[in-house]
Chain A
Amino acid sequence: MYVYADNAATTAMSQTAIDAMLPYFKDNFGNPSSLHSVGQAAREALDNARDKVAACLGCEAREIYFTSGGSEADNQAIISAARLGARKGKKHIISTAFEHHAVLHTLAKLEKEGFDVTYLDVRQGHNITAQQVKDAIREDTCLVTVMYANNEIGSILPIPQIGAVCREAGVLFHTDAVQAAGHLHIDVKEQNIDMLSLSGHKFHGPKGVGALYVRRGIALTNLIEGGAQERGKRAGTENIAGICGMAAALEEACAHLDENAAKVTALRDRLIEGLSKIPHCALNGDPVNRLPGNVSFCFEGIEGESLLLLLDMKGIAASSGSACTSGSLDPSHVLLAIGRVHDVAHGSLRLSLCEYNTEEEIDHILAVVPEVVQYLRNMSPVWRDLQTGKRQYIL
């Protein structure tokens, strides 16, 4: 048995998404900007896809801009809001300490340009409150950008409440909804969201395509100059197949959202309950307001990369926030932001589920993970020191 439990990294494409894409590789290969009938067929497909995505978010089709993915959407939303703010002398931005790097690195770039960024503390409950946002808003705040749900630890942020706070204060509100779209109910009008980013491959759509919702009246700054595609705001011939695949996948995910969430939540809760029995571990993320598919733990005395390699050998694809897997010397900034110290952040494991996972797969994970954790602890000098009292348990 091989269990794919890394759906927060990417998902398998659905047959619906594949079927929606195939015609646009060969038979219907036109460029939507062409006037002839081949081009116009592609134009129609593009328009239909935009309608579908808009319907899933509760906005108008003209408020949807297709991008190359979530990162581009995040970059463009934040840069645009910053340029609008700067024109009015407003150069303060509010975000959180556990955003995705697409947001954090864009904010770091703006800080170098003289913007002031407040990163809200996420240690309390591994989440933020709308009150924290309200308290951080200043006269010169031009943007609040907080993620809809965290990719590593699964916390769902109080987006409608934050939206209300921002609307009342007259501050633009962007949310990186890459982990939420297709999994949680989103209604940008009801939730007072001004800008929202999403990515196709997180809900069984294709990679390399995403979307940015921008409320009518907010002027976007172009990141890519060229032709007049996407209302002149994002140049480049449209990725028609990708866009159609993403739209079909999102439509399907939203149509089955409640049933999928119920099924995946039940699998998740079984997994959390079972893994919690491993001694000296801790659940990362908000235990209540949590993505249906997210399971994230820190296990004391072991290191995440060796855990992942062994799990892969034993038929489980998972992820970790250890330094060795992050490609840097530091463990995940998300785990550090919620207050996990380096020693335990190195021993993190994320299992992210989707509706394709089964009860049998959960049984397999529950049988393998405790065994592998114990195996690694048995060869760990840190674990020995903890057991013999030479080192104090943190978890």
Chain B
Amino acid sequence: MNITKTLNDKELVITLDGRLDTTTAPVLETEMQSACEGVESLVLDLKDLVYISSAGLRVILSTQKRMAKQGSMKIVHVTKAVMDIFTMTGFASIIRIEA
């Protein structure tokens, strides 16, 4: 999975490309811990994410919790398959998802 970070002032856009699964989720977790320093607005761009498993969901959840302390987080450009996962697991209501 490729992680691309774009920092616009206090807004960090993280674009994920590939799969977020049990092998790649820990990588994202580590990345998030450091990347989120001093970020007020975190945007996760998932337009290139084709696959997400429960491991990925947990990372997103923990990121959400972190960001809640210092700002906000939202997910954008979700594919249908991933959206299905968010929906069936109830994440759609926990996390701010925009089109």
Q: Do A and B come from one complex?
A: no
